[in-house]
């Protein structure tokens, strides 16, 4: 097994939390830091009028997010090659960090 990939869908998100880079980037770094993951670099893009796509490259792999504020939806991927515990913890943090009404999470061994 090369790693663990967590796929998270957040439905009914608070639009203000997923509309702008500043808020989304802050939350992703909270997830990375709380999960003891090691960031290397990041890239974010602001869509107009709103919405964000972003990735933080990790020494363990990556965490990425794509948001659709108009649909109140966010998709987060977390891939970690440093054991399933870090990916699991990061996915739990992702679900806690963003205000939403419903979530789904799928853990895939790769």
pLDDT for position 82? 83
The H-or-E segment that residue 8 falls in is strand 4-11
Instruction: Judge contact between 35 and 86, C-beta under 8 A.
Output: yes
pLDDT at residue 2 above 90? Answer: no
The SS3 call for residue 46 is: strand
CATH number at residue 30: 3.60.90.10
DSSP per-residue letters across 28-43? HHHHHHHTT--EEEEE
Mean pLDDT of the chain: 95
Range of the domain at 95: 4-104
Q: Sorting pLDDT into bands at 50, 70 and 90, what band is 76?
A: very high
Domain membership of residue 38 (yes or no) is yes
The dihedrals phi and psi of 93, each to the nearest 5 degrees, come to -65, -40
Q: Which of the residues are catalytic? A: 61, 66, 81
- The number of distinct structural domains making up the chain is 1
Domain membership of residue 110 (yes or no) is no
The dihedrals phi and psi of 80, each to the nearest 5 degrees, come to -135, 130
Domain membership of residue 109 (yes or no) is no
């Amino acid at each position: 097994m090369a790693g663990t990939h967590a796929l998270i869908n957040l439905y009914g998100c608070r639009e203000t939390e997923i509309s702008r880079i500043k808020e989304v980037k802050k939350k992703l770094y909270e997830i990375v830091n709380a999960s003891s993951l090691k960031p290397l670099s990041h890239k974010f893009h602001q869509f107009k009028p709103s919405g964000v796509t972003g990735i933080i490259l990790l020494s363990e792999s990556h965490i990425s997010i794509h948001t659709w504020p108009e649909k109140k939806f966010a998709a987060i991927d977390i891939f970690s090659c440093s054991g399933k515990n870090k990916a699991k913890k990061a996915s739990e943090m992702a679900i806690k960090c963003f205000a939403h009404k419903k979530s789904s999470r799928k853990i895939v061994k790769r």
